[in-house]
Structure 1
Amino acid sequence: MDLQQRITAFARLGEYLRGFDKNKKFSVTNITSPAFQNLKNEVDSARLRNSWFVQENVENMLFSLGKSLELSKLEQWTSKYDLDKYDKHHVKTIAVIMAGNVPAVGFHDFLSVLISGNGILAKLSSDDDKLIPAIADLLLEIEAGFKGFIKFEKQKITGFDAVIATGSGNTARYFDYYFGKYPNIIRRNRNGIAVLNTTETKNDFEKLANDVFMYFGLGCRNVSKLFVPEGYDFTPMLDVFSKRIEIKNHSKYFNNYEYNKAIYLVNSRPHLDAGNLLLVEDESYASPVSVLYYEHYNDIMQLNKKILLDSQSIQCIVSNDKGVKSSFDFGQSQEPELWDYADGVDTLGFLLGID
């Protein structure tokens, strides 16, 4: 396959995935596709295998992926690289070790490997071992030329040329030890942050709530910490957040909320309570499920310096303050473009640079 065939296939896949729009359920033209029906079945049953994967969240993720796979975006993304020249090189096998914290979180690596003309050897998380294979089956139905380029391995992975591995800080040390001799991208824990400045509107807080609550806060792009000016009034924000009452119906999330609340009460630790989320002052970036950390700042320039120094802990930033560098608008933390690489590492550039 040449580059244009690969782009066309993923653009077609995007049409299917955009069918998971909650406002236009399954609007793709060929819903009789067996592979698409299988993907739909996996979406419907995802919560039975992983209770964090509620149907609304899985569908939201697939729809978001579908939006990123528009033909114009795929062409814009790949145009920055000399992929046509790379097609003449020997195909590499790329081992991709995927996380399972949010649905189909390894898709961008899956896409990057295949769009570059390489083959993927994927090791799936036991927390999410059905969605990516179902997406792969749909891609193969769209373009049979990918056959032989996609393999899933349940046992020890062998016979690869490079590695992309995503995990926690602990697993990253394991990855460093075992895969350090190969060309690699090894990702560790990161979190999203929000910078507030008192000009936020109710609509801003509604969008920020998506950044905080989507996927129960388990994603590396979820906002887990706020930076706020001294004396910031949290009341308007918490009023908006408290209306997300449906999240309290999820037993695991609400158990975390009640547990953390009890700990803070027993330890007399100051906190604010939205009824579904706890707001706690803390210098850390990674907050527990159902907890949102905050820290005060006095000067936006000094905050930018701090963010730069702490960049290894930060995945993305949301803010309406134009003085905050490299930030997304509120509500956009879970809507990255194809060129918004995890950890700021150019995955496609890495793949094209493997000797």
Structure 2
Amino acid sequence: MTIEIKKNIFVALGKFLSQFSETENKQREDVQGNAVFFDSFVDLIHLSQSHNGWYTPEQVYFAIQSWAQALTEESINQWLSNYSLENVKQKKVALILAGNIPLVGFHDFLSVLITGHDVVVKTSSNDQHLLPFLAKYLIHIAPELANKITFAEGKLENFDAVIATGSNNTARYFEYYFKDKPAIIRKNRNSVAVLNGKETKEDLIALGEDIFRYFGLGCRNVSKLFVPEGYVFDSFFEAMFEYQNVIQYEKYANNYDYNKAVFLMSNFQLLDNGFLTIKEDNSYSSPISSVFYEYYKDLEDVKNKLENDSEQIQCIVSNNLIKNSIPFGQTQKPKLWDYADNVDTISFLLIT
């Protein structure tokens, strides 16, 4: 299978996904496989919350649209333009996927197949349906993929390399278990925002998207703010009210009540708006429904801290206060070349 054929297969998948949005599911005549897959996918989207309470239709649709926008001919060509994908020695690559947000492991799945390898997937118990469905769609439009995609039920066996995602604790297990295999082992990371008090209301509303999308469960969600000494949070909280409906989701509300109670029983000082607590804390990893913050005197101190702690950070949000930072509202819209943990997955797969 040539690289152009593989590109076209994933462009076709992007067209299929583009038909589904929270406002409307509408079939397009130029999309392959709709007679078999369209209605079934709509059903799966609305059943996803019964499989995982965090996978509300709103969040699943957002993930689907994000991938629809990424899987275009222009985007795929730009992503792969810097690599030589001809004459790749075919190997079998195992994927151990997380399940914190919908389709979180799709980029690894795409990367393995686009480079010509076979993929063996171990899905998370929290996300066992969406990716297998898309794999069936791919096999329907390109039957030659049937022998290149396997979903493992039990122990992973007979593979040449592995990409595994988990917590810091499971990462230690992965590092030991896969010590004899080429591997990418991903651990816990968090994202931060750096503010200087000059942000507009629109900036802060966009920051709310970085905080609340997927209920804050992703490594690209902002869980920590760096703010200048004397910063007043009134404007921040005013902007956050755009997202007040999040408290209507039972799982989020339960986490809000529990974590707020834990903080208060520990006599921590909190700021609270009824659906989000913010707490001064040096840690990067805040619990669901809470964001930590830390004051700074000098922006250079923040830059140095973030550089020193880079292994703990997925992405940084700011109005160009920090080099290579992401604009507000964009953390959950990564490009195909925005690699998790800044590890180039394609390069790994080409030299494996």
Which sections of structure 1, spanning at least 5 residues, go unmatched? Answer: none
Question: Which whole-Å deviations, capped at 9, do the CAs of 1:28-57 have from their partners, x for residues lacking one?
Answer: 434733133322221110000110110100
Match of 2:348 in 1: 350
Please report how far the alpha carbon of residue 16 of structure 1 lies from its aligned counterpart in structure 2 after TM superposition: 1.4
Q: Which amino acid aligns with 2:7?
A: I
TM-score normalized by the length of structure 1: 0.96
Task: Specify which of 327, 330, 337 is matched with residue 329 of structure 1.
Answer: 327
- After superposition, where does 1:83-98 map in structure 2 within 5 Å? 83-86=85-88, 89=89, 91-98=90-97
CA distance in 1, matches of 2:148, 2:323: 39
Match of 1:25 in 2: 25
Please report how far the alpha carbon of residue 81 of structure 1 lies from its aligned counterpart in structure 2 after TM superposition: 0.4
Question: Any idea what SS the aligned residue of 1:200 has?
Answer: coil
Match of 2:173 in 1: 174
Question: Which whole-Å deviations, capped at 9, do the CAs of 1:297-351 have from their partners, x for residues lacking one?
Answer: 222222111111101110011111x230111110100000000000000000000
Residues 35 and 141, structure 1, Cα contact 8 Å, conserved in 2: no
Match of 2:37 in 1: 35
Match of 2:81 in 1: 79
- After superposition, where does 1:296-335 map in structure 2 within 5 Å? 296-320=295-319, 322-335=320-333
CA distance in 2, matches of 1:64, 1:118: 25
Q: 1:295 to 1:28 in 2, by over 3 A?
A: farther
Q: Which moved more, 1:257-266 or 1:117-126?
A: 257-266
CA distance in 1, matches of 2:110, 2:269: 45
Match of 1:157 in 2: 156
CA distance in 2, matches of 1:267, 1:40: 45
Please report how far the alpha carbon of residue 27 of structure 1 lies from its aligned counterpart in structure 2 after TM superposition: 4.8
Note if 1:110 corresponds to 2:112: no
Residues 27 and 38, structure 2, Cα contact 8 Å, conserved in 1: no
CA distance in 2, matches of 1:164, 1:303: 32
Residues 225 and 292, structure 1, Cα contact 8 Å, conserved in 2: yes
TM-score normalized by the length of structure 2: 0.96
Identity %: 45
Residues 242 and 275, structure 1, Cα contact 8 Å, conserved in 2: no
Please report how far the alpha carbon of residue 23 of structure 1 lies from its aligned counterpart in structure 2 after TM superposition: 4.3
CA distance in 1, matches of 2:298, 2:27: 48
Number of residue pairs aligned between Structure 1 and Structure 2: 350
CA distance in 2, matches of 1:39, 1:119: 25
Q: Which amino acid aligns with 1:71?
A: E
Q: Which amino acid aligns with 1:246?
A: N
Please report how far the alpha carbon of residue 65 of structure 1 lies from its aligned counterpart in structure 2 after TM superposition: 1.1
Q: 1:296 to 1:94 in 2, by over 3 A?
A: same
CA distance in 2, matches of 1:2, 1:105: 27
Question: Any idea what SS the aligned residue of 1:33 has?
Answer: helix
Which sections of structure 2, spanning at least 5 residues, go unmatched? Answer: none
Residues 195 and 226, structure 1, Cα contact 8 Å, conserved in 2: yes
Match of 1:46 in 2: 48
Residues 192 and 315, structure 2, Cα contact 8 Å, conserved in 1: yes
Question: Which whole-Å deviations, capped at 9, do the CAs of 1:74-93 have from their partners, x for residues lacking one?
Answer: 0111111000242xx3x100
Match of 1:56 in 2: 58
Residues 99 and 127, structure 2, Cα contact 8 Å, conserved in 1: yes
Q: Which amino acid aligns with 1:259?
A: Y
Please report how far the alpha carbon of residue 145 of structure 1 lies from its aligned counterpart in structure 2 after TM superposition: 2.3
Match of 1:141 in 2: 140
CA distance in 1, matches of 2:58, 2:7: 28
